[in-house]
Amino acid sequence: MFLETVSLALSSIRRNALRSFLTLLGIVIGVAAVIAMITIGSGTTERVKADISKLGSNLLTVRSGQPPTPGSAPSKARDFEVKHLTALEANLAGARAISGASQKTVRIVYGTESLSASVTGTDTDFFTVRDWAVALGRTFTGQETRGGIPVCVIGETVRKQFFGSGDPLGAIIRVARVNCPVIGLLESKGTSGFGQDQDNVIIMPMQAFQRRIAGNNEVDTIYVSALDTVPTTEMQKRIETAMREIRKIGPDQDDDFNVRDQTQIANAMTSTMGVMTGMLSAVAGVSLLVGGIGIMNIMLVSVTERTREIGIRLAIGAQEWHILTQFIVEATVLALLGGIFGIGLGLGLAAIASYAFAIPFNPSLSVIALAASFSAVIGLVFGFFPALRGARLNPIDALRHE
């Protein structure tokens, strides 16, 4: 009986194939949007987490100002200077390496070629804390660091642009009007989870960067790599205590800096993704609602068109619930078909996106099952009213209907 009702519904849908398809578009688009968003979102999160775990879980980042919270602008605070960095190095136990870094995006010129790249001023420990080795040449010497001598370690993208696959060592490039000999080439890191080219960089000694490029004494970020024997949370506390001391913050004052480990950064990124996914899901929900109204509309048309058929069925002994079931099943099958098309389309879009942005493609079975059952429920809910109208028809009037 049930299978027959389903096959009856399918043949009725097939009879009006174009009309049924157009009715379904709302649900198809809604479900496809949800499936694509969630699949792409989870792939991106996974990629970001993988990138961060490559950095090492015992890396802590210290920045000035309160950590930004959703809805409020990042607070301004005194910038770090080299003296803070030196003081921290002197007062912190359990650190494997401490490094300060500042960053600025400037124009780089070599011969007739030029490009825009991110320049980082830092010290030799930077390569240790960021776990970033040179593929060719060397990093800075202590003398170069202390003396503020402009020398450059370049990223793979910069090499490709200026030297192709040739040897860049010894060449002199102009970094924001400062002549700077190339002393090393960094290992390639590729593109980050957010599509950023991590190889379009130049690393130079902090003093040279501050004096010749940034024109100030600021240190943007202090990286602390903890020893494996010291837990990250313990290290975070030690840094906070030391920094309050160094920055002379009174006991009743808030920190004017923030210390975060990589998991916290990952969580912040993931929660941002979550907000975006939630907003898009709300839009998709509206689309599903519109799709449901479309189904209700088409089912009302279908009931009116088949008034005579309903009259015949009622006359020969069909109960109201037989008619009710017939039309509800038809609406549910219709909506479920829309859901299945939508899931296919959404997975297709997610597969294309994962190929284009090099993120993992791992569709979630539970999300697919949820989307399918949700669309069936839409059919059930929005099919009920038209079906009830059909079931309540008076058989005599229905038989007379032209």
Partner 1 sequence: MPEQPFIEFADIWKSYGEGEAQVNALAGANLRIGSGEFVTIMGPSGSGKSTAMNIIGCLDTPTSGDYRFMGVDAGRLDRARRAVLRNLYVGFVFQGYNLLARTSAIDNVELPLIYRGAPRRERKIRAAAALERVGLSDRIAHTPAELSGGQQQRVAIARAIVTEPTLLVADEPTGNLDTARSHEIMSLLTRLNQERGLTIVMVTHEAEIAAYGSRIIRFVDGHIASDEQNKDRPHVS
Can residue 252 be called a binding residue for partner 1 (CB under 8 A)? no
Closest CB 315 distance from partner 1, rounded Å: 5
Size of the site for partner 1 (CB under 8 A): 19
Residue of 1, 18, 93, 365 interacting with partner 1 (CB under 8 A): 1
CA-nearest of 268, 374, 373, 352 to 43 is: 352
Distances (CA, A) of 38 to 27, 269, 292: 17, 15, 22
* 8/367 with CB nearer partner 1: 8
Nearest to residue 62, comparing CAs of 173, 193, 223, 214?
223
Q: Is 312 in the site for partner 1 (CB under 8 A)?
A: yes
What is each CA distance from 215 to 63, 77, 82, 83, 102, in whole angstroms?
20, 19, 14, 17, 12
The minimum distance between CB 318 and partner 1, in angstroms, equals 5
Q: Is 301 in the site for partner 1 (CB under 8 A)?
A: no
**Angstrom distance (rounded) from CA 204 to CA 297:** 67
Q: Which stretch binds partner 1 (CB under 8 A): 43-51, 117-125, 171-179, 313-321?
A: 313-321
Is there binding between residue 311 and partner 1 (CB under 8 A)? Answer: yes
Rounded to 5°, the CA angle 351-355-359 comes to 90
* CB neighbourhood size of 2 (10 A): 8
Residue type at position 34: V
Q: Which region, judged by CB under 8 A, interacts with partner 1, from 147-155, 200-208, 289-297, 392-400?
A: 392-400
Which range of residues in 130-138, 176-184, 195-203, 311-319 is near partner 1 by CB under 8 A? 311-319
Distance CA 212, CA 177 (A): 9
Asked if residues 299 and 9 have their Cβ atoms less than 8 Å apart, the reply is no
Task: List the interface residues with partner 1, window 11-40 (CB under 8 A).
Answer: 15
CA distance linking residue 195 with residue 191, whole number of Å: 6
- Please, which residue, 3 or 365, has the CB nearer to partner 1? 3
CA–CA–CA angle 190, 195, 200 (5° rounding): 50
The 3-state DSSP class for residue 367 equals helix
b/e sequence 264-301, b meaning 16+ C-beta within 10 Å: bebeebbeebeeebeebbeebeebbeebbebbbebbbe
Determine the interface stretch with partner 1 among 84-92, 147-155, 308-316, 334-342 (rule: CB under 8 A).
Answer: 308-316
Please say which residue, 175 or 303, places its beta carbon nearer to partner 1: 303
Stretch near partner 1 under the rule CB under 8 A, chosen from 256-264, 281-289, 310-318, 369-377: 310-318
Residue 385: CB minimum distance to partner 1, A: 19
Exactly one of 290, 320, 345, 351 binds partner 1 (CB under 8 A); which one? 320
Q: Which range touches partner 1 (CB under 8 A), out of 56-64, 71-79, 220-228, 307-315? A: 307-315
Asked whether position 2 contacts partner 1 by CB under 8 A, the answer is: no
What residues line the site for partner 1 (CB under 8 A)? Answer: 1, 4, 15, 308-309, 311-320, 322, 395-396, 399
